[in-house]
Structure formats: structure tokens, C-alpha cells
Chain A
Amino acid sequence: MENKKELILNKEWCKGCWICVEFCPKQVLDMKDGKCQIVNLEDCIYCQLCEIRCPDNAIYIKTVGGNDHD
């Protein structure tokens, strides 16, 4: 079964630092009312750059289905 990737944002932990918004290579993210928001999901390439540089663990890529050993 093929793995499906999902972009997950936990607004409760987001502190609105702009890091993920600024360094996303595909302009998927923006800032609204001091919190990150996903505005352009179609363009996401699931590169995890947002996850890697978010200081607050508030955004990440979840892999659903398939096996975990890919």
C-alpha cells in the first residue's frame, strides 16, 4: 500500500515566529492573527523543511498507511 503524506499544523503550539512561512520553498504557508496557517496545500512537496526548522514542533509531516520502513 502506498504511503500518504499529510501536512499537520498544531496552532496551539505555534508561536507565530514566521520561520516556516519564510523558508517554505513553495509558499504553502502564511501568517494570520499571529499563527501559521496553511494557505496553499496543493503546492506542498512534503519536504519537511517546515518541520525541521519549527522551534516549537507545531508543524510536521505525518505518513499514513503503508509500512514505516520506507
Chain B
Amino acid sequence: MDASQLIQKYYRLDKLPHIWCPGCGHGILLNSLVRAIDNLGLNKDEVVVVSGIGCSSRAPGYLDFNTLHTTHGRALAFATGIKHANPNLHVIVIMGDGDSFAIGGNHLIHACRRNIDITAIVFNNNIYGMTGGQYSPTTPYGDLAATAPYGNPDSPFDICQLAKGAGATYIARGTAYHARELDKLIERGIKNKGFSLIEGLSMCPTYYGRKNRKGSAVDMLKFFKDNCIDKRLVDNNPQLGEGKILIGELYKSTRPEYTESYKAIIDKLKE
């Protein structure tokens, strides 16, 4: 088989090559997740990868873990059930920006609030890729989309800020360009005992790129290279952050975890 040991170990090889367009960022982000899981040495049978609907949500279908492809926006609801049924599992959820913050926004904020031990990775390409390039809650103001031919009149969410306000206890942002760094961010997210939200900046050259004249996949990766800066550098020198997108570990805190709190109640009532 003409694939690296890593790919052979964690992918369903008969499902490759995947259906994503040439230069789609989702493939790069997915490999970061796989390297993170490998670095942590997790037992494959104790990992569950859950998704909703969208190009990004195709990801679990390619992976050789326990996987579940659910309905649009509801991945976190299914994942909550899985984590409750067996809190020993590492539950990882892959969602698109539309899946997680438009139709699934309510599930998202309440999963954050509950601080349930799930790692959510948002493949944010600023657009609805699967359905042909409609704008999403992360499409920048003024950008073009199939549903915004004269420019998007809505302002985007900063999804990391939103997750922080809602109560997530680990929040990080990475990009397809900074893929190595993203491995580490995902690793820490999986290790966090609580709700982790990792925003992975992805690219959709087919719709978002083409419509907005952002160029090819290469140009979009260069954009990440030139416009992102690690939060640690900005902490030391705030001027560096002006006009830049912050990447790295953005927030970490500790709060009771949902399934543990739930178990404590059950144990108490059994006494």
C-alpha cells in the first residue's frame, strides 16, 4: 500500500482517496487530528469520532475508529449521549462552521456550558461548502457567497470568543498552514477534562476562494501564514497583534465536568 504508516494505521484505506476537492483544507486538518491521537497513544477502540453533515463531516467516514455520521447540526447531541453512556471513551466531534455555529449553535453553547468532556474541532472554511457556497455565521462582513451576491450584510462570529462566553474550558485556534502546531493544540484539547473547542481555519478554494477571488489553495494557505500570529507573541508585545488573527492556545480554565457531576449525584442517591 502506497501510504505512510500513520495513514495505514488510522484510515480506512478502501475509502481513499477522499471526495474533497483539490486543495480543500479539510484533509490537512484531519491529518492533524490523526497525528494528535497517535502522539497521545490512545487505544483506537476507545476513540469515537462523531460528525454532523457537510464536507467536513465526511471526515469520520475515512477514519478507522468508532465513528458516527449524524444529522446536520446535531453531532454534539449524539456525542453527549455517547459520552454519558461510556465516560471512558474519548469523544471527538468534527463539524463545519455552518454545522456547529448555524444550525447546531444551540447544541454548541450548551455543550460548552455543561463542560462535558468532549473535544470539538470546527473545520472553519467561512462558507457552506457542501451545498454550494452559501454564507455561514463565520463568513466575513462584505464577502461574497451564493446567498450574498452583493456582499454579506452580517458580521461573523468569533467562534472562540463565543465558546469562551458559553463556558468551554479549553479553547484554541490553528490553521491548515500551521498544521504541526495544530497537532499540539488538538492533543491538549483531548487531554483537557471538560469541553474543548478547537477552531481549525480551513479553506474551501472551490466556493469561498473562487467567489471572493482569494485565489488558489496555495494563496489561501499563504493568507494564514501572513495574517496569523501566536497568542504568546502578542501577550509579550500587543502591537504585534494589530490586524492579525490570533492562533495557539487562547484560553484554559477548570470547572466541574458534566458526566462526573452527574455520576456524583447517582452515587450519592445510591448511598
Contact = CB atoms under 8 A, between A and B. Distances in A.
B132 interface: no
A27 to B, nearest CB: 14
Interface residues of A, number: 22
B202 to A, nearest CB: 10
A17 B3 contact: no
Interface stretch (B37-45, B105-113, B173-181): B173-181
Contacts of B11: 57
Given A12-B2, A13-B17, A53 B22 contact: no
A52 B27 contact: no
A2 B248 CA distance: 36
Interface string B13-37: 0001110111111111001000000
Interface in A21-41: 22-23
B216 interface: yes
B33 to A, nearest CB: 13
Contacts of B179: 52-53
Nearest to A22: B218
26 contacts: A10-B2, A13-B3, A15-B22, A17-B23, A18-B216, A18-B217, A19-B23, A19-B217, A19-B221, A22-B218, A23-B221, A51-B4, A52-B28, A52-B180, A53-B176, A53-B177, A54-B27, A55-B26, A55-B176, A55-B217, A56-B20, A57-B3, A57-B4, A57-B11, A57-B31, A58-B17
